[in-house]
Structure 1
Amino acid sequence: MRRTTAAIAIIAISVPTVPLTYGRSQVGGARVKQYQEHLRTVLPEADHFVSKGGEYPHFRGYIRGTAGEVDKLVGLAYLNSDVGHAITGYASEIVVMVGLRPVGTITAVTVVTHNEPYGYRSIDLARFKDQFPNRRYRERLRVGDDVDGISGATITVSAATSAIRRSTRRMFREFVKEQIEAQP
């Protein structure tokens, strides 16, 4: 019995633990710190962020209340991969963070990671990301119609746009559902 316990302890100590790349296993403050730069990009009005767990992990950005006032929610931020809409572009998985106001409009989109082509065909360029601010959660967002494609990156742009649209709809629907359930 002692040998079994000792063996389990040695294995547990020697096996490295690796946090998930995109945060589901990380807790509150560490997760906020990991994505701080992206959070500031998608919710620039917020002065602090809170990581929320649950079925669809996300962040909430707030402006601190003054003199006893309640902090004001300015928006939600989430990774498409946490909301169930992974993107596989031409070359690999793409992870984007989307900022969403409580009224259902996108504040900004930032690419967290990708291994797609760089240069003038990249989805990491402003000409792709700048098409999403102020779009409503229920807009179609179709490449070639509402969203301009990037020549040579059609597969990547289509996949990313679809994931942004679908994850935004899901996140807004969950947020509204939470607000309704919180009503007395």
Structure 2
Amino acid sequence: MLGEVHGGVCLKRFGVLILLFSTAGIVTLAAQTKRIFTNPRPEPHFKTLFPNAAGFSAFGGTPLHYKVYGEDPKANPAAPPIGFIFWTTDVVPNERAYHGPIHFLVGMDVRGVIQNVVVDYNSEPYGYFSIDPPQFVAQFKNKSIRDQFRVGGDIAAVSRASITMNGAARALRDSSRTIAKTFLTPDQIKQ
């Protein structure tokens, strides 16, 4: 009888430990899926992404984004958007380069064509093994989401950072395609 009581107490303690570790795992997972945020003021980059834009929406939606307008949406609330601005890390948060996520701010029009890209933040090594050379992001300008985005194919590897280059190209490709799939019809997307 003493063995049964002792066994029951051990079983209860074991159950409490399982519950404790399960809860810790869920809390850790929730913490890992939080939004990766580095720049509270991206607006100065908006004119780089869309030089002729007349206005921008508030940040929001699913996936998170700004809408870009060709005419002031305050003056004409029915104005259709001409594009979208988004961070790759908000759309595909699990895409990583060599040292972690690269925070690209992307401007894409309503035909699924990238207008421009800004490297908002990255923690990749600097120099010959990085995405820092300006010609890397420049090659994404006017790129359609229908393109391959393949390093060594339609994307030139401008440094020896193959893991970084591939991760950056995947982040740009997958986030742009996700935004297009969410907000555009197949007929809108440039062939």
Q: In 2, are the aligned partners of 1:87 and 1:95 still within 8 Å (CA)?
A: no
Name the counterpart of 1:54: 61
- Secondary structure, aligned partner of 1:128: helix
Name the counterpart of 2:86: 78
Structure-2 separation of matches of 1:20 and 1:114: 16
Name the counterpart of 1:28: none
TM-score (norm 1): 0.71
Distance 1:142 1:88, change over 3 A: same
Q: After TM superposition, give the deviation of residue 42 of structure 1 in Å.
A: 1.6
Structure-2 separation of matches of 1:86 and 1:123: 18
Deviations 1:140-183 (A, max 9, x none): 11000000013321110100001111111110010126xx9xxx
Match of 1:104 among 112, 117, 132: 112
Q: In 2, are the aligned partners of 1:77 and 1:99 still within 8 Å (CA)?
A: yes
Name the counterpart of 2:15: none
Amino acid at match of 2:116: A
* Structure with greater proportional helix content: 2
Q: Which runs of 5+ in 1 are unaligned?
A: 1-18, 24-30
Q: In 2, are the aligned partners of 1:95 and 1:111 still within 8 Å (CA)?
A: yes
Structure-1 separation of matches of 2:183 and 2:71: 21
Amino acid at match of 2:85: A
Aligned length: 152
Q: In 1, are the aligned partners of 2:35 and 2:90 still within 8 Å (CA)?
A: no
Match of 1:34 among 36, 41, 49: 41
Match of 1:22 among 37, 42, 49: 37
Q: Which runs of 5+ in 2 are unaligned?
A: 1-33
Deviations 1:50-84 (A, max 9, x none): 13423201011113359x65535221011111113
User: RMSD value over aligned CA atoms?
Assistant: 2.8
Name the counterpart of 2:158: 150
Structure 1 residues 97-176: aligned runs within 5 Å: 97-176=105-184
> Percent of counterpart pairs with the same letter?
31
TM-score (norm 2): 0.69
Structure-2 separation of matches of 1:91 and 1:121: 12
- Secondary structure, aligned partner of 2:89: coil
Structure-2 separation of matches of 1:48 and 1:100: 15
Deviations 1:11-36 (A, max 9, x none): xxxxxxxx96528xxxxxxx8x7111
Structure label with greater radius of gyration: 2
